Structure 1
Amino acid sequence: MSLPPSIEMPTEADIIKACKEFETYETRDVMYKVALLHIQNYWEKPVDMADAIGVLLLSWNQQFYRIHKGLDLKRVEDCIIKNMDYLSELKGRTINSL
């Protein structure tokens, strides 16, 4: 399995550091849980998956998208479509197996 050329795989140390930072600043991960459930329920339906990712991105990065012309959900959908095979390979894995 190879990564698409535009995705750089984070190291284990990068992931651990990011998780610790997240837990420090974000004590409630409700939006993540809702988005994950939506993605699981609508797997292989790129429009619905993009909506779930959009909810997550907009809730976590509201200021960024307000300043930078909003979130283009069509681009998110296109990215999902382009990478669906790779995403399907990753679907059953845990973060520890990556």
Structure 2
Amino acid sequence: MTAKDLPGQRVILRGSKAFRKNLPREAMYKTATFLVNHHWGNAREVADGMGVLLLTWNQAFYRYGQFDFFKLERCIEKNMSYLESLRTRNILEFGEADESLVRRLFKGFSAALAIRSGSKKGTQSPVATAKALHLLAPSFLPLWDDKIARGYGCHYAKDPVGKYLDFLWMTKAIATGLSKNLQNGADGSSAIKVIDEYNFARFTRGWVDA
């Protein structure tokens, strides 16, 4: 997807409206977000809270085996100072200086969320990784899935972290075109959340077109 193809505010809001009409409760996302917020600073409890969402949203992947919760806990603990620095930041603040840290976090959490045993042992999920990072820095790091990544021309079969950075830059570009109210989360949802609602409605479910 080129810069001229990126959706504007009118299209984003149409997708967000369709998302909220079809999924008004978002129980699992709200539960996981609450648990991460409530237990922030306690790596073990944060890992458990994230697991509520990851094992539900990514059940097709994790049907081959779960990730190791202790590895996830250690990864959170090891990177807590970095996560603290990103947790309150807005996607509009993302810049080239942040790329190396995003690479570090993406690679670290990809390893921590890999399937722990069985025939698929060690297999990683760029989708689970992005969702985990989003829960940890919800206004700064976007989430994606297979269809969303393909829709943006960022499919992650090769170089997933590089593709995620491309996706992050495009998400920032979209957010830049939103009104100040939306950028600042005036309706209680961050710019990233509203953009994700559009992405899910358009690419994942096909509830709206371009």
Query: So what's the TM-score if we normalise by structure 2?
Result: 0.33
Look up the match of 1:42. Answer: 39
Structure 1 unaligned spans of 5+: 1-12
Look up the match of 1:9. Answer: none
Q: 2:89 aligns with which of 87, 90, 93?
A: 93
RCO comparison, higher one (Cα < 8 Å, 6+) = 2
RMSD between superposed Cα atoms in Å: 2.7
How far apart, in 1, do the equivalents of 2:91 and 2:34 lie? 17
Structure showing greater Rg: 2
How far apart, in 1, do the equivalents of 2:93 and 2:55 lie? 28
Which amino acid is the alignment partner of residue 84 of structure 1? Answer: M
Deviations 1:17-76 (A, max 9, x none): 9xx8xx788953321221111111111100100011111110101121111x21211111
How far apart, in 2, do the equivalents of 1:90 and 1:79 lie? 15
**1:72 and 2:86 matched:** no
Look up the match of 2:55. Answer: 58
Structure 2 unaligned spans of 5+: 95-210
How far apart, in 2, do the equivalents of 1:64 and 1:25 lie? 24
- Contact 1:35–1:52 (Cα < 8 Å) also in 2: yes
How far apart, in 1, do the equivalents of 2:53 and 2:86 lie? 19
1:21-40 equivalent positions in 2, closer than 5 A: 27-28=22-23, 29-40=26-37
Q: Which runs of 4+ in 1 moved over 4 A?
A: 23-27
How far apart, in 1, do the equivalents of 2:19 and 2:71 lie? 28
CA 32–78 in structure 1, closer or farther in 2 if over 3 Å, else same: same
How far apart, in 2, do the equivalents of 1:25 and 1:62 lie? 21
Query: So what's the TM-score if we normalise by structure 1?
Result: 0.66
**Farther-moved stretch of structure 1 (30-39 vs 78-87):** 30-39
Which amino acid is the alignment partner of residue 38 of structure 1? Answer: L
* Higher helix content, 1 or 2: 1
- Contact 1:54–1:71 (Cα < 8 Å) also in 2: no
